[in-house]
């Protein structure tokens, strides 16, 4: 390099170029890191969208219900299980009907699931395109631990294509105690459902 070139490129220029190149390299590394984080976030979002939501059962005080062992199974716990069952089995609208009935399946004993699935299939076929909604409000829940059934009386409101009708739900739920799970922490399983029709 001759003296004329030195005038155009002072000694500090290579240092600035080196710093600029270093900053440019750091920027590329940070940009690559941001792309990786974005990719991971999108992957997690897509994966989560295909998973069913986790259901956390809460008691009347808003505290999470603990998974119970057979030794501490009581009438109060059975009543909570019955109410949760009623909420998913008999309270739904066109948007969440399939989801509620899927949750209800978690409360059906293994031996009764095929019959329940048949009933659900018929109900979904009947409800298709008819904007069917249903709500129940338990009035009385009596549990007979000795004979393994719960007698439920509830106000029921049905709506089909905007037409509403109120009726009484009078049903006997025969149950057994099985394995507790996150969706069914009480271990409450319905073996038979017998609707009592007033004469």
Has residue 127 got a pLDDT over 70?
A: yes
3-class DSSP string for 99-143: HHHHHHHHHECHHHHHHHHHHHHHHHHHHCCCCEEEEEEEEEEEE
pLDDT tens track for 12-30: 657 777 777 777 778 888 8
Statement to judge: residues 41 and 107 lie in one domain = no
Statement to judge: residues 29 and 100 lie in one domain = no
Quick one: pLDDT band at residue 10, thresholds 50, 70, 90? low
Confidence at residue 60, expressed as pLDDT on a 0 to 100 scale = 67
pLDDT tens track for 166-199: 999 999 999 999 888 877 888 899 999 998 876 5
Confidence at residue 47, expressed as pLDDT on a 0 to 100 scale = 83
Residue 187 lies in a domain: yes
Instruction: Please give the model's pTM, rounded to 2 decimal places.
Output: 0.62
Statement to judge: residues 27 and 79 lie in one domain = no
Statement to judge: residues 129 and 37 lie in one domain = no
Statement to judge: residues 105 and 14 lie in one domain = no
pLDDT tens track for 76-108: 888 989 999 999 999 999 889 999 999 899 999
Residue 94 lies in a domain: yes
Residue 149's nearest CA partner among 187, 181, 178, 190 is 190
Statement to judge: residues 43 and 75 lie in one domain = no
Statement to judge: residues 19 and 111 lie in one domain = no
């Amino acid at each position: 390099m001759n003296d004329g070139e030195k005038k155009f490129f002072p000694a500090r220029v290579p240092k600035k170029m080196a710093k600029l190149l270093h900053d440019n390299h750091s920027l590329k590394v940070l940009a690559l890191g941001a792309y990786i984080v974005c990719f991971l976030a999108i992957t997690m979002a897509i994966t989560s969208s295909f998973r069913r939501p986790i259901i956390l059962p809460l008691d009347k005080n808003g505290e999470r219900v603990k998974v119970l062992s057979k030794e501490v199974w009581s009438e109060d716990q059975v009543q909570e299980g019955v109410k949760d069952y009623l909420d998913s089995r008999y309270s739904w609208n066109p948007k969440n009907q399939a989801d509620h009935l899927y949750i209800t399946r978690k409360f059906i004993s293994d031996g009764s699931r095929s019959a329940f699935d048949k009933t659900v299939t018929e109900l979904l076929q009947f409800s298709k395109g008819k904007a069917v909604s249903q709500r129940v409000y338990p009035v009385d829940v009596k549990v007979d631990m000795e004979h393994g059934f719960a007698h439920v009386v509830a106000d029921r409101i049905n709506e089909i294509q905007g037409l509403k009708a109120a009726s009484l739900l009078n049903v006997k739920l025969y149950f057994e105690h099985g394995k507790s799970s996150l969706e069914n922490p009480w271990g409450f399983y319905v073996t038979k459902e017998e609707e009592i029709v007033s004469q």
